[in-house]
Amino acid sequence: MKRTNIVVGNWKMNLTIAESLELASAVIAELGSGFSGCEAGIAPTCPALYETGKLLASGPLFLAAQNCHYENDGAFTGEVSARMILGAGCSHVIIGHSERRQLFGETDEIVNRKVSKALKEGLKVILCVGETLEERESGITGDVVTRQVKAGLAGIAGIGDLVIAYEPVWAIGTGKTATSEQAQEVHALIRKTVSDLYGAEAGDGLRIQYGGSVKPSNAAELFAMPDIDGGLIGGASLNASDFAAIVKAAC
């Protein structure tokens, strides 16, 4: 099955609203009138979503949020719901990023509840999985990633609106990158795990991104791997020309 590559820039906790609009405009300018052969989007901070969404309304980039809560509303100070980010113009949401898991204590159960709610509300979900350096060195990468995939998808009936992002925690923001062969090995395992859960056709159609110090210099090699379908880009997405170059590599 021919899968369309997908690239998303995760801006994390960076940039004011004005700075977000400036960067989004620069990315659009770098990409020109549009691109074909892949999908691409950006995930600004929550305060910048609405204004950035208005800028992106005419394309070619889609708007993603970096997180959402598993309830529609209630006494959850500081949180935002799936309906709120939909209303801000988002079509996608990133869930289960390692920084959410490690810094904010998100468990597999919490991630699963968020995935379920986001899909139910009509968002497309980017589910993040990945192992720490200690887990890789202990030889349990496969166990960890398989557990995260199965737990994140527990009770989810269909995965047509889902993308999985494999992000080895030891390669996020460190400058270290999994070799293309290391990344391919884990991507193939994720695809097999999903195929076992949902059938071969669903597994073959699932798009699996790689994230972890992707740069213009290594993007093409990574994206050439048979089971790598684009990237979830952190630091490089804060530079318009670098991010545009990665999108073009994916296309």
The answer to the question of whether 10 is labelled as a binding residue is: yes
The answer to the question of whether 234 is labelled as a binding residue is: yes
d(CA 194, CA 199): 7
The catalytically annotated residue of 97, 99, 131, 135 is: 97
The catalytically annotated residue of 39, 106, 131, 167 is: 167
The answer to the question of whether 235 is labelled as a binding residue is: yes
Contacts of 171 (CB under 8 A, 6+ apart): 177, 178, 212, 213
Asked if 52 and 83 touch (Cβ cutoff 8 Å), the reply is no
Active site (annotated) includes residue 97: yes
The answer to the question of whether 12 is labelled as a binding residue is: yes
Residues facing 164 on adjacent strands: 127, 208
Q: Phi and psi (nearest 5°) for 77? A: -50, 130
The answer to the question of whether 211 is labelled as a binding residue is: no
Active site (annotated) includes residue 187: no
Residues of the binding site: 10-12, 173, 213, 234-235
Query: Which residues have a catalytic role annotated?
Result: 97, 167
Binding residues for substrate: 10-12, 173, 213, 234-235
